[in-house]
């Protein structure tokens, strides 16, 4: 039998693959995406949005599987098909971001930076320079600058992410932004500011995520004896943001246990690998 040329079948395969991608069932997603792509490749008409979406998602699946060469190849195909289809800038921004993640994973930091910066530029042109949509590509760029030991550049990006997170008003994102910046400030030797930011983060978490001027005042004044600030860089850290980027979030220690303890800020003793947290899947 020849290859099916039924676009409805391809569309159904793609929709099912989306579900598997969301469920992190990479093997099933790969099977469905390859089936859809085979049909799209055989169609005589110009490539459609579904065609480059299927290619993009297959690249994402290969990245999760740590098949970096395949991920790069298929994502470059997605980019070429998207350009041929005159894809909207948002789709191109997502593709550039994924290419940056893949190249970062392969250790090609210069090319990775180029794609991250291109993604940021596209988002800025679509949504403006103060849009919370910029948090995702900026987070990837932040991780790259940390990996490259460009701490000044990383700090500037981290502060911008924090400002954007405050605009969005998402406490989860805010705590992540604060914690990542805190870790960077500690690594840069700016311990006083790092401790102050850590205490603010822990106070907000303990207060159920509610931010108030009272909390800010408490964190800026003499450290209350019932609180102990202890950002841990070892087993109590989890990785966040884009794949294979080392960003850290502080875990709160139990306040009663450290009621009379001094204040300590720990620095990393060795590089550790953690399972990456996947960003919410965005539709092309």
Residue pair 21/61 in contact (Cβ under 8 Å)? The answer is yes
How deeply is 249 buried, as exposed, middle or buried, from its count of CB atoms within 10 A (0-12, 13-18, 19+)? buried
Sign of the dihedral defined by the CA atoms of residues 193, 191, 141, 177, in that order: negative
Residue 248 phi/psi, 5-degree rounding, is -125, 150
Q: Which domains does the chain have, with CATH numbers?
A: 129-284 (1.25.40)
HEC assignment per residue over 134-147: HHHHHHHHHHHHHH
In this structure, which long-range contacts are made by residues 65-72, counting pairs with CB atoms below 8 Å and at least 24 apart in sequence? 65/26, 65/30, 66/105, 68/102, 68/105, 68/106, 71/102, 72/99, 72/102, 72/103, 72/106
Q: What is the model's pLDDT at position 2?
A: 61
Sign of the dihedral defined by the CA atoms of residues 218, 160, 91, 29, in that order: negative
Kindly provide the b/e burial profile for residues 69-93, where b requires at least 16 CB atoms within 10 angstroms of the residue's own CB. ebbbebbebbbebbeebebeebbbb
Q: Which helix (H) or strand (E) holds 190?
A: none
Residue pair 3/34 in contact (Cβ under 8 Å)? The answer is no
> The tokens 């099912």 sit on which residue?
16
Q: What is the model's pLDDT at position 41?
A: 93
Distance in angstroms (rounded) separating the CA atoms of residues 125 and 41: 32
| pLDDT per residue of the chain (284 residues) written in tens, 0 to 9 | 566 788 899 999 999 999 999 999 999 999 999 999 999 999 887 778 999 999 999 999 999 999 999 999 999 999 999 998 888 889 999 999 999 999 999 999 999 999 999 999 999 999 999 998 899 999 999 999 999 999 999 999 999 999 999 888 777 788 888 888 988 998 888 888 888 888 887 777 777 655 433 333 333 333 333 322 333 233 333 333 322 223 333 332 222 222 222 222 222 322 233 223 233 344 56
Residue pair 116/100 in contact (Cβ under 8 Å)? The answer is yes
In terms of Cα–Cα distance, which of 40, 41, 70 is closest to 58? 70
In this structure, which long-range contacts are made by residues 255-260, counting pairs with CB atoms below 8 Å and at least 24 apart in sequence? 255/206, 255/226, 255/227, 255/228, 256/226, 257/228, 258/227, 258/228, 258/230, 259/225, 259/226, 259/228, 260/225
First to last CA, the chain: 32
Task: Report angle CA 154, 227, 271 to the nearest 5 degrees.
Answer: 35
Distance in angstroms (rounded) separating the CA atoms of residues 33 and 37: 6
E strands present in 38-82: none
Question: pTM value?
Answer: 0.71
Q: What is the model's pLDDT at position 10?
A: 92
């Amino acid at each position: 039998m020849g290859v099916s040329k039924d676009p409805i079948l391809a569309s159904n395969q793609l929709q099912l693959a989306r579900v598997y991608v969301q469920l992190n069932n990479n093997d099933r997603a790969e099977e469905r995406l390859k089936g859809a792509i085979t049909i799209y490749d055989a169609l005589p008409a110009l490539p459609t949005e579904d065609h480059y979406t299927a290619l993009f998602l297959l690249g994402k699946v290969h990245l999760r599987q740590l098949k970096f060469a395949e991920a790069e190849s298929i994502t470059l195909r997605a980019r070429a098909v998207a350009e041929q289809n005159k894809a909207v800038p948002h789709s191109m921004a997502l593709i550039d971001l994924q290419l940056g993640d893949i190249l970062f994973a392969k250790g090609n930091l210069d090319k990775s930076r180029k794609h991250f910066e291109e993604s940021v530029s596209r988002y800025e042109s679509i949504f403006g320079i103060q849009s919370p949509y910029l948090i995702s590509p900026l987070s990837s760029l932040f991780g790259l600058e940390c990996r490259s030991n460009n701490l000044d550049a990383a700090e500037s990006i981290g502060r911008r992410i924090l400002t954007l997170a405050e605009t969005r008003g998402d406490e989860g994102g805010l705590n992540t932004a604060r914690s990542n910046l805190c870790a960077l400030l500690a690594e840069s030797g700016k311990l006083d500011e790092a401790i102050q930011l850590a205490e603010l983060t822990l106070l907000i978490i303990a207060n159920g995520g509610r931010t108030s001027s009272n909390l800010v005042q408490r964190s800026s004044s003499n450290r209350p004896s019932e609180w102990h600030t202890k950002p841990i860089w070892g087993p109590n850290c989890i990785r966040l943001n884009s794949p294979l980027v080392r960003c850290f979030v502080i875990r709160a220690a139990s306040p009663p246990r450290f009621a009379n303890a001094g204040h300590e800020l720990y620095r990393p003793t060795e590089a550790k690998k953690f399972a990456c947290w996947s960003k919410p899947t965005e539709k092309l």
